[in-house]
Structure formats: structure tokens, C-alpha cells
Amino acid sequence: MPHMRDNVEMTQPTLTTERLVLSAPTVDDVATIYELCQDPIIQKLVIPIGPNYTIDKAETFVNKVVPMIWDGKHGAEFAIRRKHDEGLGLIGMVGISLPSGELGLWLSEKHRGEGYGKEAITAVMDWVTESAQTLEHFAWSVLPENKASIRLAQKLGFGYTHSRNIQDQQGNTVTLLCGALGTGGEWPSSADLPTRSGERPETTKQGPHSQLTQNATPAIWGQLVAKAFSIPGVKQGHSRVSMADSMAGLLLDLPNEHGAWSLAADGPIEAFHIHGVKDTSIHAVLPSVRAKEVIEKGWGEPHTYADFDTQIMIYAPRDVHEIEVIAGLLRESTDFGTSSVVI
């Protein structure tokens, strides 16, 4: 628990690190904030931004929200700038709410994976520890699907403490995973998986591993395909290990390093493939514990020709609800393949 000095006047400083300058956003940053916040990943995972982020919202944030936060001593908002960039252009935002101690961060797409997030958060925590008013602890809240943010929290020493529900920009109820610095336990690895209803479908016992009964309708299959290939980082391609009519979810932006996280032993990492419209089942990779849970709860079975226990068959969706469950598993499959990437 950080010890804070009472009755210290908060002023808006400029913080510097080895590579970064953290300073207040200005009117000159409005256009950049608007442009970077068109990123669908930011709109999905950063709840205060949300979808349909407009230039008016960016102007309000810089001209009204940030001054209100500072003047009311409710926290701090810093623009993240690279020290050696000409003009110190903004590449993201980092902030803290007081007295809750909750930290927040977003970075532009091209600046993720370079350690800037950890560097910025550490600088803000160091500054708060030296200058802010009483604070119980540093806190972290994140959507369960934001695996990169969870990994960053773990690297910084935040442990999972509880979950809570809030309303997003559209009025929908969403669940946040919450943690605190230096306390708590392991972060949940994935969303809760319901038990699949009914009997398991029949599948082949030899030859191509296929699903014989309870196949998806063409309409349901098409919806699953659309969701699967809208997952960020996934490119549709030909499978190196499945039938000709299968569609592979390839992670082309990653090195061709293979192991338990890929269905294919060479070529691009193959996180999953969806069999054609006559079969409609899926082969995917998931962490061993999660793969076991998928099987135990009736959503799949071991891959007939698996080289690893991470490789499983996921049964075809029978309705719209099951599409959502399976699409979530395919996002986890993608996360498994990109687990070395942190913001």
C-alpha cells in the first residue's frame, strides 16, 4: 500500500522517462486523439471511448474533462509522447482516478508491444506516490477479453481481487475484472463457459475428423464464419492440415514459430480452421486447461490426430447463442497464439 503525503497541492507536471514524455493533452492533440480512437480495438476495450467516437468527444475530453479532473483533484490525465519524436506527437493516453487509485491506459496500434504501456504506468505510479494525496492502493480494471491489459497488470504486480458490473457507452451491462497492486490472486484466464445442452453429436472415429450429426445450418455457419474472421489479427486462408473446403484462421503478423499454439506444424500459425458447410465443426487450439474444460462441458472433444492436448474439435453451433460462445473460444484461440505480445 503506497503511503501518500496529505495536503499536498496537485499541480500538472510533465513526467519524463527513458523514452517518453507524459504531459497534459492540448488542443493540438484533439485531431490525433480522434484519429487513434477510430481503432476498433480501442473502441471495444476502452469503455470511456466506446464505438462511434467523434471529434466533438475528443474536443470535450481535452477542453473540459481533463481540466475538470485536474482542477477538482480527481486524478490525472497524461498524453503519452515519445521523447525523440519530432513535435512530440501523441501516441496514447495514461491516467489515474483519485482517490480510487484506478489506472487507465490506451496506446495507438503501431506502438503496442514495445513496452511503452509499462513505462508510462510506472511513471504515473511513481509520481503519485511522491506527490498525491491519500490513496489506499493502486487499482486496475479490465474487460475479460483484454488479455494484453491483464498481462500488463500481472507484469506490474497487480493481483485479481474481484469482478464488478458497469454500464458501457450503449447502456449495456459489462463485467470488469478488478485488481490491486501487491495483493489478490491469479487473474481469471477466460470467461465462464456454460455447459452445452443435449447429447454430443456423432463424429468420425477415423479418416478426416468430422462431425456427422447436429451440423449447423448454412445461415448459422455463415454467421460463425463472419464473426471468426472479424477477430483482430486473424486472416482467412487455406488450412495446411484440413480439407480443401476448410477456412483457416491464420496469424500472419506473427513469426512462423510452431508448437502447441498452432494446428499446423509449418507455415503461418493456424489458430483454428472451420470446416465446410457440410461439416461445420471447428478445430482449434486452446491452453490445455481451457481445452479440457471445453471438452468436459460438452462443447468439443480431443482432436483425433492431435500432436498436443491443446488441439481439439469444437462442435458446430446449433443456434445464435452458441455462435457467441464459440466465437469467444476462437478469440481465446487467437489470444493463445499471440500470448507473447504485450502492450
CA distances from 30 to 26, 55, 56, 60 (A): 7, 7, 9, 9
pLDDT at 191: 56
pLDDT at 132: 59
Q: What is d(CA 38, CA 22) in angstroms, rounded to the nearest whole number?
A: 22
Q: What is the pLDDT along the chain (343 residues), one digit of tens a residue?
A: 343 333 344 557 899 999 999 999 999 999 999 999 999 999 988 989 988 999 999 999 999 999 998 887 788 999 999 998 877 789 999 999 988 899 999 999 999 989 999 999 999 999 998 885 567 789 999 988 788 899 899 999 999 888 787 888 888 777 788 899 998 777 876 556 889 999 999 999 888 999 999 999 999 999 999 999 998 889 999 999 999 999 999 998 877 777 888 999 888 999 999 999 999 999 999 877 788 889 999 999 999 988 888 899 999 999 999 998 999 899 888 877 775 333 3
Chain position carrying cell 453429436: 201
Residue 189 grid coordinates: 484466464
CB of 102 within 8 A of CB of 96?
A: yes
For each of the domains in the chain, give its residue range(s) and CATH number, in order of start: 15-181 (3.40.630.30), 218-337 (3.90.1150.30)
* Ordered DSSP codes for 231-278: STT-EEEE-SSS-TT-EEEEETTS----STT-SSSSSSEEEEEE--TT
pLDDT at 118: 96
Provide the residue type at 322 as one letter: E
pLDDT in tens, 154-208: 999 999 888 787 888 888 777 788 899 998 777 876 556 889 999 999 999 888 9
CA distances from 66 to 58, 70, 94, 95, 145 (A): 11, 6, 12, 10, 28
pLDDT in tens, 142-152: 988 788 899 89
CB of 116 within 8 A of CB of 83?
A: no
User: How deeply is 59 buried, as exposed, middle or buried, from its count of CB atoms within 10 A (0-12, 13-18, 19+)?
Assistant: middle
pTM of the model: 0.57
User: For residue 183, how far is the Cα from the chain centroid?
Assistant: 22
Q: What is d(CA 325, CA 50) in angstroms, rounded to the nearest whole number?
A: 22
